[in-house]
Structure 1
Amino acid sequence: MPSIGWPSPGPAMNGAAGALPGTLTIRRGAPNPNGAREAELFLIAGDASVPVARILPDPDAILPARRAPSPQSPFRLRILHFNDLHGHIARFTPEGVQPVFSRMAWRIRQARDEVSRSDHGGLLVLSGGDDIGDSAFDELLTPEDGAGAACHPTYTLYAEAGVDAAVLGNHDFDRGLEPLARAISQAPFPVLSANLRPAGDVSLPVYPAVLFVLRGVRVGIIGLTTRAELKLVEGARWTLLDPLEVAQNLVPALRSYCDVLIVLSHLGGSLEVGTCAVQDIGDRELAELLPASAVDLIVGAHSHQPLNEAGLHVENVVNGIPIVQAGAGGKYLGEVTITLRPRPAVTDARLWSVPYLPMREDLEQRFVAPLTARAAKILGQVLGTLACEPDYRDEAVRSDFAAGENALANFIADALVQRCRRAGFPVDLGMIDASCLCGGLPEGDVVRYGDWFRVQPYEDPLYIGTLSWADFLEFLQDNARRVDRPGEPRVERGFAHFSRGLRYTIRLGGGRQEHQVCDATFRGKPLHADAERTMTIAFPGFFRHLAAPWERVMGERYGMVCFPVARLSPAPAGLFVRRELVAYIREVGGITPAAGARCDGRLTIVQ
C-alpha cells in the first residue's frame, strides 16, 4: 500500500508542473449540487505514469468513518450511466425536435427520489465521454448571430440534471484544448482521465480519479481515455499514456481505500469490435489483464455498444469484472446496482430505452427549448443551390462510395485544396475517405447548414502531410487494394478519393493483392517513382480511422502490409474540415456540377 504523508505544496493535476511521478494528492472537492448532494467528494490528482508510491492528503481531506454493510443490512449503490451522447441533447428530425436528454433527466430525478427514501443506498450518475462535440449545439459556442453560449450547452444540461462525474472521450478534444478547458472549468462535476498528460504550460482541470463517500461507503472512480481516433490539434502540448500501464499503476494504490472501485472507460469494448477503432486495449482486454476482480465494474464507451439490455450477460463478465455500456446518441440510459454485504457485487444491470421514458418538463422548457430554437436558426441557414444528383444522396455515400469515382467526394477533395491554398499552405492534393462523411444530402433545391452538418457532424481538423513521388505511388497502389470489388460485401477499407490534379486507373485482378494502378498522371504529366520530388497532401484527421479493423484482419489472415498514414508525417493545419467546406460551399454558390460536384474521369476502374 502506498505511504501516506502530508504535502507542503498544493495539489497538482495530471502531469502538471509540480506533480512528481508516482505521487498522488487528495483534496476535498464540492459535488454537483444537483447530483449526489449527500456525498462527500475527494479529488485525486497527480502523475500515475509510474506505480504510485505515495498518496498525500490535504489537511482537510479526512475521510469519514467507513460504513459496515452486512448480509442483514446491505448497502445498494446505483450507477446510472450513458456515453457518446456527442452533444445530442435533442434530436432534429423532419417531424420536429425530439427530446433526448430531458428524458434521461427524468429517470435520473426519479432514481434520486427513490434512493433518498432509504439510508441504505446511494446513486451516482456517470458519463462515459464524447460529451461536447459533433452536434449542432456546439455551434452555439461561436454562432454567427454573435450570441455565444457562456457555458457549454451539454455541460449546462449535465449540471442541471445531476451528473456526478465524466471521463474525457476522444471527440471531446476535437475543438482544441482551450475550448475544452473552458468547458471543464465551468462544469460543477469532476472530469477524469488518468492517462492524459498535458505539458507544463497547459492547465487542464482533469483528474485521474475521484473518491465519493456516500453514507459511509467509499466509491473510487478512475477515468481512462482511448488513444484511438484522436486528433492532436495542439501537437506536443499534451499526450495520452498507455491506459493499461496507468490502470495497473492506479488500481493497487486506490483499491484499499475504496469499498467500490469503478473504471470509467472511454477505451471501446474490445480490440475485436468493428464499430470503431480501438487502440492498445479495450474494456475486455483491460479486465483480462488486471488481477481478477481488481475493480468492481467497468463502465464503458467509445464503441457505441448497447450491452446488457436484458440484464447482465455472462459474456460481459470478464475475469470477475462486469462490463457495461449504453450505446450512443442518447438512445439508452444504463443502470447498475452494486450490492455490498459487505463485499461489493453487481446484482443488476439493465438499459432503459430513452425514447420511451417520460420527459422532465422543467428541464426541457427552461434549458433545452431555448437552445434548440437558437440551433434551429443556425441549421436553417441556406448555403447555396443543390443539384439533383444521385452521387449526393445517402444511398451513394453509404453503398457505392468506395466502388469508383464519386461526384461528392471530388467536390470535397477539391475544396480542401482550395481552402488550404487560401490559408497559405502549398498543397498539391486533397484526399478523403468515407470516415469524412456520415451520410449524403437530402433532395431539394438548396443546401442548408443543417444538411451539411449531417454530412460532416465531426469537428475534424485538417492535416497536411508529404510523400515523395515514389512513396506516393506506393500509397496509390495500397489504395487500389481498398476499392470495393463487385459481388463482395462492403466493409470500410479506407478507399481514398483525390482532388482533380491526379488521374489514374485501377485494373482489378483476381484478388485484392493483384489490383494494379496504371496510367497515373499528376497535372497532366506521368507520375514516376522519383524519390526527390514530393507531393504535399491535405486530408481530414479521421482519414482511414474506420479502416483499422479491416487493416488488422488483412494483416493477420493474409499477411497484407498496409501503407500507414504516419508515413505522411502529418501536421495539423489549424483548420477544420466542416468549417472550410461550409465556407467553400458558400463561395462557389452551392453543390452542383457547375460548382465542381461532378465526375470528370479522374478515376477509372477496369476489369
Structure 2
Amino acid sequence: MTSSNHNAPTTLSRRGLLLGGAAFATAAGLSPMLSFRANATPAAGELQLVPATPNPNGSIEKLFLLKGDPLVAPIKTIVAQDGSPVPMPVLKEGERRVLRVLHFNDMHNHITDLHGKKGNTHRLAQMVKLVKDARAKAADNEAVLFVSAGDDHTGSVFDELMGWSPEEFVADAGYRSYSAAGVDIATLGNHEFDRGAELLKIGKDTDAAFPLLSANVHSSDFMLRDEDYTAAAIADIKGLRVGLIGLTTNIDTRVGQSNDPNMAVERPITAIQNVLPAVAAISDVVVILSHCGYGIGNHASGKAATAREIGDGDFAIAKIASDLTDKPVVVVGGHTHTELNTNGIDNDNMIDDVLITQAKAHGAFLGDIAMSIAAGQGRQDWYSSVSLHPIKSSDIRVKADDEKYASLQQDGDWDDAFETSVVSPLLKALDSKLAESIGSVEIDTLGRDAMIASRYIGENSLANFMNDAVVERSETFPNGKVDFALFNATGVSSGVAKGPLSFKAWYDVMPYADAIHVAEMTGAQIRDMLQNNVSRLLRPSETEQTDMGGFVSRGFLHFSSGIRYEIALGKDAKSAKAVNITLHGQPIETVLDKKFTMAFNTYIALGAFGETWNGKPIGGGVKGDIASLDVRKLKFDHTGLVYRNEVIAFIRNHKTISQANGAKLDGRLAILK
C-alpha cells in the first residue's frame, strides 16, 4: 500500500502532550509527559485523559476516555487527569501486532428475531459464539475488539422494554445484552435518540457496561458529554494502543424535540478534523466508529432504493483522515445499512489506504477486520483483511436433506448459555406484550408485499387506515379533534395477514418511535404541501429499476380521507402538479384562507432530516433541485401521544381491521394518465 508523508512536528509542553501541524505520526517516538493539572476542567483545544473501567466481559485491558469539548477548537493538548503519564503508542521498533475488529451496525434491537413458523433467529447469540471463539483462539500478539457502530435501538419489539417515560422503563434490551455479550465500545447512532435523550440516559446508566462515543453530539439537557459519552477513547489490548472516535450523522438525528431543545449535532467533518490528530498521536491505530453513512452528499446504498442525503459520509471522513495522519485508520460505518467488502477488500472502499467497511444491518453479518500493524511504519507496512460472517436465519421447516439446510441456523450455531441467561429473561418480560391480541384482520389484501410495493407509487390502503384511525382517535386529544393526519411512506414497514392480529404483528408495521404533533395550517399551506409531495412520488418510469423493498427516501406522504387530490405527472418531477384538491369536500380554491389542524408524526414534524421537509432540495434521486417545504416553521402542539399507540387503541376499539373502518383504497389520491 502507498502512504503519504506527514512530517509536521509534535511538541511537548509542561501541561501535557502538545500537538501541532496537520498530522502526528511522528509522536510515536516521543516520551510520555506528566501533567500536573489533576481534575481541572479541560481548556479549549484540550482533552483530558481519564481512566475508566472496561466492560468486564470484553477484551480491553486498560481504558481511557478523552473528555473535553472537541468542537470549540482543534485539539492541541492532551492532559492526564491525575498527573499520570499520557499513554503513548507502545509498539517498539521491529514489533508487530494484529488488531482484529469484530463489528456490527444498525442492529436496531434485532437481538433475537421471533417467528412462529420458522423459529427464532438468535442473531446476537450467534455473534457471541463467533466472538468468543475468536478471543479464545487469538495469538499472544493478537488483540480482539468487539464494537457497535450505532443504531442499537428502534426496530424490534425489544424497544417496548424502554417504555415512553422514565416511569415505564423496564430495561434497555440492546445495551443490556451487549454488555453481557462483551461489546467493548459503541457509538451513538441517530435512532438512539428516538425516545428522547432522557430515556437513553436511563438505559445507559442501567444497562451499559461499555462506553459510548460521539465527537459531534452536543448540548443535550440529559445526555451530557463527558458524563454519559465522550468524543473518543484509548484502549490498551495485548500491547497495542487503539484510539477510537465516535461520529453521529448530523442529517438524521432527531434534534429540536421539545423536551431537549438544545441538543444538536455538529458536522462530522468538523469533529474529525479537530480530534483525529490528537488521538492518532497517542495511538498505534485508530478506529473511527462512524454512524454517518456510506458515500458523501446524495448517495444510494444499503437500505436506500434511491439516492438519499447523508451529508458528511464515510468517503469524506476517510479522505480527511488520510490527510491528517499516517497511522493505520479504519472507518467502521453504519447508518445506510450497506453491505461492504463481502468477499474481501473492495478497492472502492479504500481512500488513500484508509479502509471503509460496514456490515449491512439487523444482525445480518458480523464484520471482521484483521490488521497487522508494525511499529513506526504507519500505513506503509499495514496489512489488513476484511470479511463478513453471515448470521444464519432460522427456518425449522427445512429438512436436513434440503440444499438450503446448511445455510440456515442449526443447533450449535449460537451461544446457548447467552441466549438462555440474557435474552430469554428479556423475552419473558415481553411475553404478554408480544402475544397480546389487539384484534383481527378481516381482509387478505394487506400483506407485506402489497403494502411495501405500493407505499411510494400512490394510494396505500394500510396508510389510509392508519391516518383515518388517528383522525378518529383525535376526539380524545387534549385540544380536540384534528381535521387531517399524515404519515410518511417509509414508516409503513410491513403489512398484516388475514386472521388474528397480535401486538407484535402491528409493531412490525410501525416500528418507529413517533409521537403525534398537531399543527394549524391554512388551506394554502396544505395546497403547497401537496404540491411539494407530488414531486416525491416514485414515477412509473422509475419503478422497474427500483428495489421497492428498499427505502425511497423522498419523504412521500400519505394523508387521511379528508384530503383528496389528483397528480398530473407531467414530463418530470418538477413539472408534476397536484390538481383537483378538496379539503372536507370543498375545492381548495374556496378555503385557501381557512385554518385546519393536521396531525404529524415526529419524523416529519422535525423536518424529516434526510427526507427533507426542511427547506432543502428534495433528495432520493429526484432531479431538478426542487426545494422542499419547511414544515418546521409551523407551530406545533406536542401532544405527548404515540402515533402507534393511538392506532392500536383504534384497532382495539373496533376489534378488526376491515374495509369498513378504513383499510381500503377510496380514491383519495389518483394518478392521472
With normalisation by structure 2, the TM-score equals: 0.81
Equivalent of 2:204 in 160, 184, 200: 184
1:215 aligns to 2:252 (yes or no):
no
Equivalent of 1:112 in 135, 144, 150: 135
Q: Which residue of 2 aligns with 1:602?
A: 668
Find the aligned partners of 1:383 and 1:20 in 2 and give their Cα distance.
56
- 1:469–1:532: 8 Å Cα contact kept in structure 2? yes
> For each residue in 1:359-404, what CA deviation from the matched residue of structure 2 results, as whole angstroms up to 9, or x when unmatched?
11211121222333443432211111211142x2223212222443
> For each residue in 1:336-366, what CA deviation from the matched residue of structure 2 results, as whole angstroms up to 9, or x when unmatched?
1121222352421111112168211211121
Following TM superposition, by how much is the alpha carbon of 1:550 offset from its aligned partner in structure 2, in angstroms? Answer: 9.6
Equivalent AA in structure 2 for residue 579 of structure 1: N
Equivalent of 2:272 in 247, 255, 278: 247
- 1:438–1:454: 8 Å Cα contact kept in structure 2? yes
Equivalent of 1:32 in 55, 72, 75: 55
Quick check: 380-389 or 422-431, which moved more? 422-431
Q: Which residue of 1 aligns with 2:652?
A: 586
1:273 aligns to 2:300 (yes or no):
yes
Q: Which residue of 1 aligns with 2:423?
A: 368
Following TM superposition, by how much is the alpha carbon of 1:129 offset from its aligned partner in structure 2, in angstroms? Answer: 0.7
1:86 aligns to 2:113 (yes or no):
no
Quick check: 351-360 or 539-548, which moved more? 539-548
1:480 aligns to 2:502 (yes or no):
no
RMSD: 2.9
1:440 aligns to 2:495 (yes or no):
yes
Find the aligned partners of 1:143 and 1:247 in 2 and give their Cα distance.
33
Which aligned pairs between 1:496-507 and structure 2 lie closer than 5 A? 496-507=557-568
Quick check: 454-463 or 40-49, which moved more? 454-463
> For each residue in 1:462-513, what CA deviation from the matched residue of structure 2 results, as whole angstroms up to 9, or x when unmatched?
3444443323212212222333444542653433221122222333434444
Find the aligned partners of 1:328 and 1:520 in 2 and give their Cα distance.
40
Find the aligned partners of 1:376 and 1:201 in 2 and give their Cα distance.
31
1:166 aligns to 2:176 (yes or no):
no
1:522 aligns to 2:583 (yes or no):
yes
Quick check: 20-29 or 450-459, which moved more? 20-29
Cα 1:569–1:167 change in 2 (3 A) is farther
Following TM superposition, by how much is the alpha carbon of 1:532 offset from its aligned partner in structure 2, in angstroms? Answer: 4.9
Following TM superposition, by how much is the alpha carbon of 1:269 offset from its aligned partner in structure 2, in angstroms? Answer: 0.6
- 2:493–2:511: 8 Å Cα contact kept in structure 1? yes
Equivalent of 1:76 in 98, 111, 117: 98
Following TM superposition, by how much is the alpha carbon of 1:569 offset from its aligned partner in structure 2, in angstroms? Answer: 5.9
Cα 1:189–1:60 change in 2 (3 A) is farther
Equivalent AA in structure 1 for residue 103 of structure 2: H
1:379 aligns to 2:434 (yes or no):
yes
1:577 aligns to 2:643 (yes or no):
yes
- 2:197–2:222: 8 Å Cα contact kept in structure 1? no
Equivalent AA in structure 2 for residue 552 of structure 1: G
Following TM superposition, by how much is the alpha carbon of 1:576 offset from its aligned partner in structure 2, in angstroms? Answer: 2.6
Equivalent AA in structure 2 for residue 352 of structure 1: H
Equivalent of 2:371 in 328, 334, 338: 338
**Partner SS for 1:131:** coil
Cα 1:220–1:437 change in 2 (3 A) is same
Equivalent of 2:385 in 345, 348, 366: 348
Q: Which residue of 1 aligns with 2:343?
A: 310
- 2:290–2:334: 8 Å Cα contact kept in structure 1? yes
Find the aligned partners of 1:511 and 1:308 in 2 and give their Cα distance.
36
Equivalent of 1:469 in 516, 523, 538: 523
Following TM superposition, by how much is the alpha carbon of 1:601 offset from its aligned partner in structure 2, in angstroms? Answer: 3.5
**Partner SS for 1:80:** strand
Q: Which residue of 2 aligns with 1:414?
A: 468
Cα 1:296–1:572 change in 2 (3 A) is farther
Cα 1:313–1:516 change in 2 (3 A) is closer
Q: Which residue of 1 aligns with 2:396?
A: none
Cα 1:20–1:416 change in 2 (3 A) is farther
Find the aligned partners of 1:379 and 1:57 in 2 and give their Cα distance.
49
Find the aligned partners of 2:572 and 2:188 in 1 and give their Cα distance.
42
Equivalent of 2:123 in 91, 97, 100: 100
- 1:27–1:61: 8 Å Cα contact kept in structure 2? no
Find the aligned partners of 2:69 and 2:637 in 1 and give their Cα distance.
28
Equivalent AA in structure 2 for residue 129 of structure 1: G
Quick check: 105-114 or 521-530, which moved more? 521-530
1:292 aligns to 2:329 (yes or no):
no
Cα 1:75–1:511 change in 2 (3 A) is closer
Equivalent AA in structure 2 for residue 315 of structure 1: D
Following TM superposition, by how much is the alpha carbon of 1:249 offset from its aligned partner in structure 2, in angstroms? Answer: 0.5
**Partner SS for 1:91:** coil
Quick check: 472-481 or 198-207, which moved more? 198-207
- 2:213–2:247: 8 Å Cα contact kept in structure 1? yes
- 1:87–1:138: 8 Å Cα contact kept in structure 2? yes
Q: What stretches of structure 2 of length at least 5 have no aligned partner?
A: 1-9, 17-34, 393-406, 547-551
Cα 1:53–1:341 change in 2 (3 A) is closer
Q: Which residue of 1 aligns with 2:314?
A: 283
Aligned residues: 592
Following TM superposition, by how much is the alpha carbon of 1:185 offset from its aligned partner in structure 2, in angstroms? Answer: 1.8
Following TM superposition, by how much is the alpha carbon of 1:214 offset from its aligned partner in structure 2, in angstroms? Answer: 2.0
Cα 1:152–1:200 change in 2 (3 A) is closer
Find the aligned partners of 1:334 and 1:302 in 2 and give their Cα distance.
15
Q: Which residue of 2 aligns with 1:429?
A: 484
Equivalent AA in structure 2 for residue 415 of structure 1: A
**Partner SS for 1:475:** helix
Q: What stretches of structure 1 of length at least 5 have no aligned partner?
A: 12-17
Q: Which residue of 2 aligns with 1:14?
A: none
With normalisation by structure 1, the TM-score equals: 0.89
Following TM superposition, by how much is the alpha carbon of 1:229 offset from its aligned partner in structure 2, in angstroms? Answer: 2.7
